[in-house]
Each structure stands twice: as structure tokens, then as C-alpha cells.
Structure 1
Amino acid sequence: MKTKRKFMQPSADFRLFLAVLCVGFAAGAGAAALTEVIHFAEFLAFGRAKSDFGVTPDQVSAFRRFAAVLACGAIASVGWYFLHKFKPFLSAGEIIEGKNPSFASNLAHAFLQVFTVGLGAPIGKEVAPRELGALFASKICAFFALDAAWCRTLAACGAAAGLGAVYNVPFAGAIFALEILLKSFDKRAALAAFGVCAVADFTANFSVPREALYVVSDFKSTPANLALAAFVGVIVGMTAKFYQAGVARAEANRIKDGKILIFLPLAFAVTALAGAFLPEILGNGQAAAQTAFNEQISALYALGLLAVKGVCVLALLKCGAYGGTLTPSFSLGALLGLCLGLTAANFAQVNLSAAALCGAAAFLAINLDAPFTAFALAAGFCDINLSAATAVMLSIACAMGARNLLSK
């Protein structure tokens, strides 16, 4: 007598296999397309060819930076006003939970997000590829007639694969799917997450840069650096808790009606003025974080960047803009870590790269409420060595512990 397959019939297995490949390909292609849109927007705003992209817009005049962000405000406010009025879009979380998205509206929403980032908006670009990955996955799962459980799993994997592909961090993308979106490390979910993220990353190869996102000086987890990591983790953990609450409040009370045509351009005008004097605050956070990792600014300047970028992100989210807080929070943590490192340097010999990286990873862990994902992202963003990993892990642990104690 033939034994039954434990989980699914062969036809269902084969459909699932094809769906994993298709979701990975679609998420990677979406991430690549969004990257090209950012390149085009940056060319319009700052006049740089794709091969010349750096991480700061300070090579252009203050007036051009101001004008680019001002124009960004006009485009963003009109774009999101009409999207809200005529065809509401869904978040990646809503798609994962089974809601049926409008393909055209969500596509326009994703491209509008990254276009504004390319023009200088100081918010993250990672939400757009997540939403696009989830959107494609929902349509692909419907085509292959997968059950509701697998539709949810592959939508989460598609969202995470978009994130992983746009930053060239496929492992972090898979952990993001399991720890944050699915909240499960089930073996079958893990297999799907790794498969989808790997295919997406390979697909995005032709557009997304292959080098590490940030250049960070190597350091070892010496006793001094471990003590510094713990100190930075505690302070960053308590600070990031309040910023996380601010982000949640801004997003919960985001302006979506006609007032967006008034308040969002005003928020962008303030950001444009700030960006004219502090170019590092513009963009998704890469400029600010790399500035911190370069270790060539004073504590006062780092504190100024931290305050201004943090306020601008909150203001834009509250006034109607959409985008991520992942890379902005990473940059805020790097700046705060550098400030703490420079302060500690008055009393002991410390490694400023260690302080900035530990601060970035710790801030990200609190913002995401996900220590495994934060470590994987920090490692992928900065291509850290094994010796540095211990200090980063300790900083994340201390940050989570400090946040939990503060919450009691």
C-alpha cells in the first residue's frame, strides 16, 4: 500500500516551488526598478551620473539642495493627496494579512516613495520594496492557487526579499521575514524565506551595488571596546525608546486629507532649509551614518545632525510623507554612538568606529524591536569582521535590556 505524502500532494508542492521562484524574481526585479528610479531622481536633483553616486549631496550648491527638496515637497504632497483621494493603497502588513491591494495604486505609492528619497527626503527607501514585494507575492499566490497560510508566508517573504535585495543583504532579509513579519522560525517558513531572498538578491544584481553600504574601520572586541559597547548600548537603548514612540505617534496621526497640500510642503520647506546648511541630513540616512563612521566631525556637529535629522523625519511622517525609518534610525544611532564615543575619549582611549557602529546597531534594534534582524542588517550594511561582532552583539543586548527596564 502506498504511503501518503506528509504535507502536500506533488502538484501542490510543484506550484509552491514555482511560486517561491516567481516571488523572488518579482521582488528582486521590483527592488532593481526602484533603485533605478532613485538613481534617476538623484540625477535630476544633484546632476550626478549613476557611476558617480556617493553618499552625500554636498558636492552641489546649497541652493540646488534647497530647490530639489522644495520641489520634492510639491511632488510628494500632490502625489499622496490624489492617491488618498481616488485609490487608497495598502501597507505591506495589510497585504500580508490577506487584504486585496490595488496593483496600480500600490505601484504608484512605492515609486513615489523612492522618488522623494532620491530628491533628498530624509526618510528611508526600504518600505517601498517591501510593499512591492508583498504586492507581487499576493498576485502570484492567487495565480498559483496557494492556500491562505502559504499566501501569508510568501507575502511576508516577498516583502522581506524586497528589503534584502534593495540593500544587498539577503540573509538579513530572511531574518526580517521570520523575526518581524512572521514571528516564527518554522522550518518551512525559513526555507521559503531563504529561497525567496536568495532569488531576489540574485535578480537585483544588475542594478543594486554589490559593495557594502558603509565603510567602517576594522576594530577588535577588546575589553575597552566591549566596555564602550555596553555604555553606548545602554544610553542608545533608552534614547531610541522615546524616538520609537515618536515615530509610532507620527505615523498613527499622519495627515491624509486635504491638509496634506499645506503641511507637507511646509515640512519639506523646513527640511530644505536645514539641508542647505547640513547636507548630511538629506536622503535615506546613508550620508549621515557614513559621516559618523568617518570619525571626522566634532561631537557638537554630530549632535546637531542627530537632532535636525530626527526632527525632520518625524515632521515629514506626521505631515503626510511615507517611507521607512530603518536607515534613518541606523544613522541616528551612529551619530549618537559617535557623540558618546567622543565623550568617552576624554577619559579613556576608545575606538570611535566601534562607538558609531554599536550605536547604529543598538538604535536599529530598538526601532525594529528585533535584535536578530538588527545584528544581521548591521553586519550586512558594514561587512563587519568576526572580531567586531561581539561588541555589536553586546551593544544590542544592553540596549534591549535598558529599554525593557525603562518600560517597567
Structure 2
Amino acid sequence: MQLPSPIERTPIDATPLNRLAGLAVLTGAVTGLLVAGLNWTVIGVERLVYDVDHLHNPDPTSQVSRLRVSLTLVCLGVVLSWAWYGLRRLGRKQVGVPNAMNGRPMPVLETLLSAFLQVASVAAGAPVGRENAPRLAGGLAGSWISTKLGLDIHARRLLVAAAAGAGLGATFHLPLAGALFALELLLVEMSTRSVVVTMLASATAVAVTGVFVKPHPVYSSVPASEDWPTLGVAILVGLVAGVIGHWFGVLARKAVAASPQDGRILWQLPAAFVVIGAVAYFVPGTSSNARSMADTMLTNGMPAAALLAVALLRFGATLLCLRVGVVGGTLTPAFGLGAIVGALLGVALAPLFPGVPVGVFALLGAAAFLSTAMAAPLFGLIAAVEFTDLAAEGYLPVFVAVASAAIGVRLWSVAVHRDQPMVPFTSALWTRD
């Protein structure tokens, strides 16, 4: 007779909530320290490579010549290929956050090396997101503490997921979005225990990281309102950006699944970065993550032709990086691409909605695109609000855009007579868990 799994055998209240709350604070503090180290690594690499960091210039690559940017990317491809090859060949097999939640311990040294290598590559110009690294660091903190204290499987699951979300929240100073990431994508539940643990861990991590790295606005704020034209824009932009974001997420997951895990990375990754370096030379703004580009969409905008070119090139560069073995996230690329899609729709629909600024189109597109690319509507909604310090009157149109995005994906599945499942983009993709 087959025994039930550990999750089925262990009572859910084996670890009391008061003890879990204290452990959540402890884990959040450790996560906050690790994320502070990751953030300072980003700042240090940016200063080393581009002579300025993102705290003083949202786009450090704009401070140097295009030739220097291109040569940096070519060199980065060579260094990254050997770094990832060596880590996988010489180190222990890495464990993703989902498997760590289920009891597998994460190797400390290999996980830390992976996290710091990820953020260093993004800081040097790789066009992927850096949120996967702090999620790993947080998951490692939760896994290590759970193992050392011998926690039951339910407590471990909560603590690891909460710490992973807290790591994401601490990186961008998004306490609520970090907690929602853990609840919506990792735990997929909303109980009292899970809410308390994730909120405490995220708040603590954000506060601790803020002691060492001064919080700063990630994106400019956009004055959105609740008038009917804006709500109409939210529906239209949500439908279009949501479907495009969904397919970006699908292609990103396929790219990671096909990425080389053996010696092929030694030629595929450098070759890809030669292409990206050449593109960056002729079209500035297509390398590095999309933070600066998204902020431009929220404030000043760009001509339609330039928007379309940058959107296509960024879309391709991000997927190419993931395909050839660069380890990273899709959060900032998705937000940036969504802002570009929204801005393009703003240019096209300006005659119909003359009173709605292009920046509002960009914000709604970013929220909708992010929500379907990450397969997390609540996370996409709150991340857009916290990213931009959005005023209360802008909440409703963002809510409508995110809801429309989910409906858009559903309508697309009906139109093609094929289900379009929304699958999250997590660290399990990289570790083949």
C-alpha cells in the first residue's frame, strides 16, 4: 500500500502561526540583506562598465559611445558563456524555488553564484530582467532556514515561497507586489497563514534592503483618471496588449526550454551577443533591460516608426538571449514591451481619444502585457501601481486593462479553437524542475 505524500501526512497547523510569523520576519531580514548585496552588485558593475549607475541615470548605456556599448556586449557574451558553462559543469545541480518549496534543499554556493552572475549580466547590458536572481536569493534564505530548523513541509512551503516573493519585492521596492507574487504564482492560495507570512516577509525584506540601498522611483508617475474615454482606452489596450504579452510569455518559456545546457553554450551565447551588439550599435536603446525605454514611453514618447522598430528588436533580443542560455527574468522586458505596445496604440488611436495622453496608453499597455506574460493578473496590476506610484484615480483603468487582457487571451483561444493556458515564468524553467 502506497503511503501518502509528506504534505498529506503533516497537519497544516504543525507549526503555529505565531512561530511562522517570527520566522517570516527572520527570513525577510536575511532576504533583504542578500538583495541589498545583489543591488549593490548591479550598481558596481554599471559604474565599472559605463561610468555611471542607474540611480543617477536610468540608462547608463547612454553615457558612453555606441562602439563601447557594442564591444561590451561582445565581451559579455564570451564571459557569460564560460561562466554558465563552468557553473553547471563544476557545481552541484541547482534547485528552483518550486522544488525547494517541496523539500529539496538549494545548494548555497551555486545558488548565490547564479544569482550574482544574473544581476551582473543585466547590469552589463544583457536585455533580460534581473528579478529571477532575488527570487532565488529569497528562496535560498527560506530553504536554508527551514532545513536548519527542521520545519514541517507546510511551513517550509510557505516560508520559501514568501521569501522568494520578498526578494522580488525588495529589489524594486514593491512590498505588496512581492507578497502577491508568492500568493498568486507560487502558493496559489489565499489563506490567513499564507497572507500573514508573505506580507511579513515582503515588508521586512523591503525595509532591510532600503537601509542599504536608498529607495528610488523605478518609473515616472502617470496622471491617469477614471473618465469614460480612459476606461474605453483601457479595454482596447488591454485586449491587444494582453494577447501580445501572452505570446511573449509563451515564446519566452519555449526559448528557455530550448536553451543549451552543455558545451553548445560556448559558441551560441557569444554569437548571439555579437548580433545584439551590432543591433545596439545601429539602434541605440535596444540593449540592457527596458527600464529606460519604458520610462520614455510613460513621459515623452517616440515617433511611431521608431517605436515599432525598437519593439521588434527588443522582442527579438530578449527571446534570443533566453534561447542561447542567458539566465534572467521577463519582468522589466515585459513591462517595457507593454509600454511600447500601449504607446503605439496611443499614436494610432489619438484621433479617437484626443484627451488621453500617450503616457496613459503606455501605462495601461505595460500593466496588461505584464499580467499575461507573467500569467499573474493581480501581480501585474499591483506591480504597475507600485512601479509608478500611481495616484488612486488611476487604479480603475489599470484594473480594467488587466481584466481585459485576461479576457483577450480567452477570446483568442475561442477564435482559434485551442486552449491558451497561462503558465507562470519561474526559476523552475531554468533548473528543468
How has the CA–CA distance of structure 1 residues 369 and 49 changed in structure 2, closer, same or farther, with 3 Å as cutoff? closer
| Cα separation, 2, equivalents of 1:346 and 1:68 | 43
Q: Which residue, 316, 320, 328 being the options, matches 2:325?
A: 320
Offset at residue 69 of structure 1 (A): 1.5
Other structure's SS at 1:281 match: coil
Q: Which runs of 5+ in 1 are unaligned?
A: 1-5
Q: Which residue, 88, 91, 105 being the options, matches 1:100?
A: 105
The one-character-per-residue Cα deviations of 1:84-136 (angstroms, maximum 9, x if unpaired) are: 11222222222223222211111101100000000000100000000010011
How has the CA–CA distance of structure 1 residues 228 and 49 changed in structure 2, closer, same or farther, with 3 Å as cutoff? closer
- TM-score, length-normalised on structure 1? 0.94
Offset at residue 282 of structure 1 (A): 2.4
- Counterpart residue number, 2:163: 158
- Counterpart residue number, 1:19: 23
Q: Which residue, 354, 368, 372 being the options, matches 2:374?
A: 368
Q: Which runs of 5+ in 2 are unaligned?
A: 1-11, 415-433
Offset at residue 19 of structure 1 (A): 2.0
- Counterpart residue number, 1:131: 136
- Counterpart residue number, 1:44: 48
1:145 aligns with 2:150: yes
| Cα separation, 1, equivalents of 2:130 and 2:321 | 14
1:398 aligns with 2:404: yes
Q: Which residue, 391, 395, 399 being the options, matches 1:389?
A: 395
- Counterpart residue number, 2:4: none
| Cα separation, 2, equivalents of 1:362 and 1:114 | 26
Offset at residue 30 of structure 1 (A): 1.1
| Cα separation, 2, equivalents of 1:104 and 1:85 | 14
How has the CA–CA distance of structure 1 residues 351 and 49 changed in structure 2, closer, same or farther, with 3 Å as cutoff? closer
| Cα separation, 1, equivalents of 2:278 and 2:338 | 23
Taking the TM superposition and a 5 Å limit, the aligned residue runs for 1:71-220 are: 71-87=75-91, 88-220=93-225
- Counterpart residue number, 1:236: 241
How has the CA–CA distance of structure 1 residues 98 and 285 changed in structure 2, closer, same or farther, with 3 Å as cutoff? farther
| Cα separation, 2, equivalents of 1:388 and 1:49 | 30
The one-character-per-residue Cα deviations of 1:234-290 (angstroms, maximum 9, x if unpaired) are: 111222222221111111111111000000011111111222233322222201211
1:277 aligns with 2:291: no
How has the CA–CA distance of structure 1 residues 49 and 280 changed in structure 2, closer, same or farther, with 3 Å as cutoff? closer
Q: How many residues align?
A: 401
| Cα separation, 1, equivalents of 2:60 and 2:53 | 14
| Cα separation, 1, equivalents of 2:374 and 2:191 | 21
| Cα separation, 2, equivalents of 1:7 and 1:249 | 39
| Cα separation, 2, equivalents of 1:335 and 1:244 | 16
Offset at residue 54 of structure 1 (A): 2.5
Offset at residue 26 of structure 1 (A): 1.1
Instruction: Report the AA paired with residue 21 of structure 1.
Output: V
Contact 1:295 1:338 in 2 (8 A): no
Cα RMSD, aligned residues only: 1.7
Other structure's SS at 1:216 match: coil
Q: Which residue, 238, 253, 260 being the options, matches 1:255?
A: 260
Contact 2:301 2:343 in 1 (8 A): no
- Counterpart residue number, 2:232: 227
| Cα separation, 2, equivalents of 1:47 and 1:94 | 39
| Cα separation, 2, equivalents of 1:251 and 1:181 | 19
Instruction: Report the AA paired with residue 294 of structure 1.
Output: T
Contact 2:14 2:152 in 1 (8 A): no
Instruction: Report the AA paired with residue 356 of structure 1.
Output: A
Offset at residue 218 of structure 1 (A): 1.1
Instruction: Report the AA paired with residue 69 of structure 2.
Output: R
| Cα separation, 2, equivalents of 1:381 and 1:279 | 24
| Cα separation, 1, equivalents of 2:208 and 2:104 | 27
Contact 2:225 2:394 in 1 (8 A): yes
Offset at residue 384 of structure 1 (A): 0.6
How has the CA–CA distance of structure 1 residues 288 and 97 changed in structure 2, closer, same or farther, with 3 Å as cutoff? farther
Quote the sequence identity (%).
30
Regions of 4+ moved over 4 Å: 6-9, 12-15
How has the CA–CA distance of structure 1 residues 351 and 44 changed in structure 2, closer, same or farther, with 3 Å as cutoff? same
